Structure 1
Amino acid sequence: MTPFAIAGVQMYVNALQSNVDGMIQRLDILMARFPWTQMVLFSELAPFGPLDKFALPPENETIERFQEAARKHRVWLIPGSMFLKHPEDGRIYNTSVVINPEGEVIRRYAKMFPFRPYEEGVAAGTEFCVFDVPDVGRFGLSICYDIWFPETTRQLTAQGVEVLLHPVLTGTTDRDAELAIARATAAQFQCYIFDVNGLGAGGTGKSCVVDPTSMVLHQSAGQEDMFPIEVD
């Protein structure tokens, strides 16, 4: 891996209205303040909040807007996740997309372990998400509850993942446990972890970045935050 600047965005998430305009506005602010940023990660379900009644088809205008934003700023963009409904069987998946600086969706990842009962009716994904940033390193993606199962991270790091991108939505007392799990996972599997939580309907904040020694490189509190961290 070579030096690479990744920014997390911890923002307030509404449950009953779209947050997409706010996400794009914060991305604009982030890139104006920290123009060296090369990758941006938002929290789980940041675009529309935690209600699956707002599920969209796999191809939709919202993803196109994020593609345009990534292309505009020439950054890798993971805009959290959103509920997407399969057009044939109607199943709903909690899905993240990975967008490259050319504005292309290069990966889609459906959360493997939906958190019951909050995601009752949400189907489980079956494929791991690994992708390379040319001349930089290998990245993996997991969503929230996935990290509670060590097998998921073991599978990713066995495929050479050096940085685990981990959007979460935790609004319960589980957040303290997740922070401990993030540190233990980083040390156990020798990878960086970018763990980005939301606020309001999107969680209780406390986003963190952990290095492979389990050292916390950044710890957000309970307010909005954007934090670019250069990993090497």
Structure 2
Amino acid sequence: MEINHGEYSPDPSEFNCSDNPTGQTSVAVLFNQTDPEYFTYQHSYVAILLVGAFFGISLNSILLIHLTYELFKEPRALGFMMVQLSFAHLMVSVFCLLGDGIWNATVQWYGGDALCRSMKYLQMFSLYSTTLLLTGMSIEACITVSFPLTKSSRPSTLHRARISSAVYWSLAALSSIPQAVIFHVKKAPVCEEFYQCVTHGSYIRFEFATR
């Protein structure tokens, strides 16, 4: 869960720890100004994410086992790509759906800086890998249809699928590195000990407003 910045510049008195006329915690004030409806839909949002994660993990695990079994029985380029795509979808279910579901349930980030960077890296890595693998499957299908006699034999398609898959996974891994660099754990500019996994500059507007 990330702070929605909007166009808000808080009144310094709102985060005055010694004198808060509203009676709210400074964390509540921060959320009320950045995303006033968040706590209204929080439980529904968490439920949707966790239910999606449950079905995503369960169904993709079953599909992955089935596709792997079929691949060992009869190695094919399409089956090889489908196994990897299923694994990438499983990663999306774990790191994006389940990860965000837990984070929105706790609101604050409790995992530490290393887990923050790793989580954001793996979330983007799983999304990039699914996109690239789908693109690769489309390219492979196009080659097979366009060159049915010269480039569609089983050994050549399987060899091509292995090489292209290695390229796609490598590109996804490299493209996700910025996430591990820009995300970090930082204390919010509030009175309470409230930490979040945020990008660089996420709280600059609030920090200047409260000085």
Same fold? TM cut 0.5: no
Question: Based on CA coordinates, which of the two structures has the bigger radius of gyration?
Answer: 2
| TM-score of the pair, normalised by structure 1 | 0.23
> Which structure dedicates a bigger proportion of its chain to strand?
1
> Which structure dedicates a bigger proportion of its chain to helix?
2
